[in-house]
Chains A and B, each alone.
Chain A
Amino acid sequence: MIESSSNEPSLIRVEDLTVAFGEEKVVENLSFSVRSGQTLAIVGESGSGKSVTSLSILRLADMSGARYLSGRVLFQTAAGERDLLTLSQQDMRSIRGKEIAMIFQEPMTSLNPVFTVGDQIAEVLQLHEGMSRKDALAEGVKLLKMVRLADAESIIGRYPHQLSGGMRQRVMIAMALACRPKLLIADEPTTALDVTIQAQILAILRDLKDSLDMAIIFITHDMGVVAEMADDVVVMRKGHKVEEQPVDAIFHDPQHLYTQTLLSAVPKLGAMNGEDFPKRLPVAVYDEAGARTEGEVRVQNTANYGVAPLVRVEDLVVRFNVKKNFLGRPTHRVHAVEEISLDIYPGETLALVGESGSGKSTIGRTIQQLQESQAGNITFNGKRFSDMGKGERRALRKKIQYIFQDPYASLDPRKTVGFSIAEPIRTHGILHDEGLIATRVSELLERVGLSASHARRYPHEFSGGQRQRICIARALASDPELIIADEALSALDVSVQAQIINLFMDLQEERGLSYLFISHDMAVVEQISHRVAVLYLGQIVEFGSRRQVFENPTHSYTRNLLAAVPIADPQKRVMLAIDDTEIPSPIRAVGNEPEHLRHKEIAPGHLVAE
């Protein structure tokens, strides 16, 4: 079907699009348009239909059984305007990769592991441009240079597993841009990346959009990224568009209550300036009943520094052997943790921040005895791990609980939620009477904001946020003194995240809990923690109170980390000079020991690596 060409300058116009899987409509009556050289951000939380929208434009949603109940997707192809919804899959194939390209969220899994980077890039050029393999590979090298990969000639012959996440995402971008598409769809392209790497990728996308005069549809849940990237913004919720505005207006004059709620839920870096203590903030809620705020403001002055620390970590070293020689002797090691010392006081939230390979999770895992250390001491309540017997160490697991990032993966799908929560009670023999156990499970569920009747249900019946609440209830079941929260908020939508932060704070106030809060999200850390340790390649580069680290960041790495965080305000958009350095690998040859950092105390309690 050839549409009569009008004067409409839009490159792509989506009109009244409704997409259904089975009987369920996941996108309803959606309309928007994008012009060349513009970036449209589609923002929404999980289940908003934003990804389905992008897959529908490319007609890739067909493969998962999508049906298009209404609407048109008008795209200016090389041969004139076409309604993509009416094209055959065969016709779509000449548009995909050539005129519309797409990059995806997970750089670790979006490249085929068994083909070289070069083969995967060359494939597109051979297909759409009719190039020979040799010419396509030569063009591939140019493309890799375009996404600022140093050493492109060597990377072209490598396999995906030999590259870091940031490098893989650059390869993905190079591959997507190989045929100079007119439209690039980017579906959460930086969500899985470290914040400094995210800043690099965003800058590359911005530059290439201008130099290639592309349009970008940028799908994200991250308001900070929206502020950095977008010209126009579409806000989606449950398959509907709730608001569409230019980016400045979205942030400074949001019309819809949902947009307002979403924006107020985003933790803002620097919002806590001048505060000595973490602060519990009211949560904005938007549901069928409308928009409102729940909860009160409360200063979280719970840390007790007047007593002995609950946990003391001294000169901890954790290394893993990764390569062995012919005789089975290790030749290379991951230096995950290198002489780390820190204390966690009762009622305190100590945050560990850092990027991939910084060793932050390894510290948590070692304290929880999931990981052996090579040197150093860990003391709990004044007693060293090394002085404890087997039974004592086992009993310690009752006092220290772990909450993982992925609430989907950390609950047994075949057991009821009640069973999972009761498991630590039974394992540690805290209660024996079944009736008492059931009562305790009900109390715990109610404490985390669920209801007692939920105990009989299975994990798949809950949302992500509810599952994380269940994991918290399970962690509380053995009445612990320390909870290690390892990226526990990272998989959650911002509105849910805000509620869980408050739950963490309320429980701390109530029970005097200590938290070891492991996170890469600086804004959340700023709100929740009493003290912060910034980690880089297994060592602490800066350590101090929340206020010291965030208001007077002194080490250059801490500053970089803070500067790379996207700010949810388009008027504060700063074009960072792009630093193309990768985070170095913590893997070292045996014998090549890292130098241990010395720290200088620049203010009481504020340590900075020299």
Chain B
Amino acid sequence: MAGFIVKRLLQAIFATLVVTLLVSYAIRMTGDPALMLTQGAGSITEADLVRIREALGVNQPFFVQYFGFLRDMVTFDFGRSFLGGTSVAVLIGGALPSTLVLAFWSMLISIAFSIPLGITAAVHKNKALDQVIRVISLVGLSFPNFWLAIMLVLVFSITWNILPPSGMSGWLSYIMPAVTMGVILMAVNVRLVRTTMLETLSSQYIMVARAKGLSETKVLYKHALRNCAIPLITYMGLQFGGLLGGIVVIERVFNWPGMGTLAFDAVGARDYPVLQASIMVLSLLIIIVNLLVDIIYGLVDPRIRTE
């Protein structure tokens, strides 16, 4: 197990390097941050721009800049934002918790609904209840997330005025962003739970569990669900990347002060340090979640543990 984790960590470091390299290179193709900073600042000479570039360090060759960034990362020096000079660590420290809380609630909503719905659909395979659940899931799948977000705002904030339309202020403000993400994840997961459940229910050990005289609830939630867990956990781990991607959009719609908003604004401002650091944090997050998934496997399935 220790060897396995070390191997995974080495892979994680390599993956992070590749991701940050690509992102750093790509953002430098969008143009000159000095121009962005001096926009609307009246008469700026070419000498001023050169000075600003020197101050920001973007006059150096790309690889020098990139290795500088890596060197700073090793010492946990995230640098300062081009915009206003705030410490990047402070910016990320402020944004990351907001995003994580949102991701947590979205996942929780998705799991809390998709598992019972998926199991119900599997148990009533091809009957009315199954059809209804599959249609609900299809509708959920077909919504673009930003559209669902806007509709929720229209209904709950503008028409009924019971939920705040944007910002992060009190628990009420969590509801709409979390539900938007949660519903879309749920729609996918219901189908996954249904399929894996159907496969598990046809196993002989399910017949054996029934022949023992166990109640259907025990058969489904104890014997079957735990065997479904492996594909579900795998998929949900992979889904986490998509979830973070979706959150960027949702955070924009709800003006949520998270990593998505931070990264989005950094792209617009060509704020290299903020963007590089946020992307690195997000990719590390995805890698850590998937590492956790691999460890959870072993806990859930004894066959993997002994390998």
Contacts and interface: CB of A to CB of B under 8 A. Distances in A.
Contacts of A161: 302-303, 306
B302 A127 contact: no
A123 B207 CA distance: 15
Q: Which of A109, A112, A172 has the most B CB atoms < 10 Å from its CB?
A: A112
Contacts, number: 74
Contact of A112 (B3, B213, B215, B223): B223
Contact residues on B (Cβ < 8 Å of other chain), bracket = 20 to 34
A96 B212 CA distance: 6
Nearest to B226: A114
Interface in A95-128: 95-98, 101-102, 104-106, 109-116, 123-124, 127-128
Contact of A93 (B203, B215, B301, B303): B215
A333 to B, nearest CB: 16
Contacts of B280: none
A161 to B, nearest CB: 5
A169 B209 CA distance: 15
Interface in A538-553: none
A104 B208 contact: yes
A112 B306 contact: no
Given A112-B209, A127-B212, A104 B204 contact: yes
Nearest to B203: A109
Nearest to B216: A89
A579 B209 CA distance: 31
Nearest to B227: A114
B227 A112 contact: yes
Contacts of B211: 58, 60, 96-97, 101-102
Interface string B198-222: 0000011101111111110000000
A384 B226 CA distance: 51
B82 to A, nearest CB: 45
B302 to A, nearest CB: 4
Interface string B74-102: 00000000000000000000000000000
Given A114-B302, A326-B3, A109 B212 contact: no
A127 B207 contact: no
A113 B303 contact: yes
Interface string A212-246: 00000000000000000000000000000000000
Given A111-B205, A111-B208, A112-B223, A159 B214 contact: no
Interface in A55-113: 58, 60, 63, 92-98, 101-102, 104-106, 109-113
A63 B215 CA distance: 13
B301 A162 contact: no
B40 to A, nearest CB: 60
B302 A159 contact: yes
Interface in A327-382: none
B50 interface: no
B302 A109 contact: no
B22 interface: no
Given A112-B205, A114-B226, A159 B303 contact: yes
B204 A127 contact: no
B34 to A, nearest CB: 50
Contacts of A105: 204
A204 B179 CA distance: 58
A115 B213 CA distance: 17
A95 B3 CA distance: 49
Nearest to A114: B226
A162 B303 CA distance: 8
Nearest to B7: A326
Contacts of B214: 93, 97, 123, 127
B300 interface: yes
A606 B177 CA distance: 80
Contacts of A58: 211
A101 B302 CA distance: 27
Nearest to B212: A97
Contacts of A104: 204, 207-208
B210 A60 contact: yes
A25 to B, nearest CB: 22
A111 B205 CA distance: 5
A355 B301 CA distance: 29
B213 A114 contact: no
B227 A110 contact: no
Contacts of A127: 212-214
A113 to B, nearest CB: 6
Interface in B261-307: 300-303, 306
A114 B207 CA distance: 16
B299 to A, nearest CB: 10
Nearest to B202: A64
Contacts of B205: 109-113
Nearest to A101: B211
A128 B204 contact: no
Chain A CB within 10 A, most for which of B203, B210, B211, B215: B211
Interface string B225-252: 0110000000000000000000000000
A95 B205 CA distance: 19
Interface in B189-203: 203
Contacts of B301: 113-114
A418 to B, nearest CB: 31
B151 to A, nearest CB: 41
Most chain B CB atoms below 10 A, which of A104, A110, A161: A110
Contacts of B215: 93
Interface string B163-204: 000000000000000000000000000000000000000011
Interface string A159-192: 1011000000000100100000000000000000
29 contacts: A60-B210, A60-B211, A63-B210, A95-B213, A96-B212, A96-B213, A97-B211, A97-B212, A97-B214, A106-B204, A109-B204, A109-B205, A110-B205, A110-B207, A110-B208, A112-B205, A112-B223, A113-B302, A113-B303, A114-B227, A114-B301, A114-B302, A115-B223, A115-B226, A123-B212, A124-B213, A127-B214, A161-B302, A175-B208
The 9 closest A-B pairs by CB, nearest first: A97-B213, A96-B213, A97-B212, A159-B302, A326-B3, A112-B205, A109-B204, A93-B213, A102-B211
Given A60-B210, A104-B204, A110-B204, 12 more contacts: A58-B211, A96-B211, A101-B211, A104-B207, A110-B205, A110-B208, A111-B208, A112-B209, A113-B301, A114-B301, A159-B306, A175-B212
Interface of B: 3, 203-205, 207-215, 223, 226-227, 300-303, 306
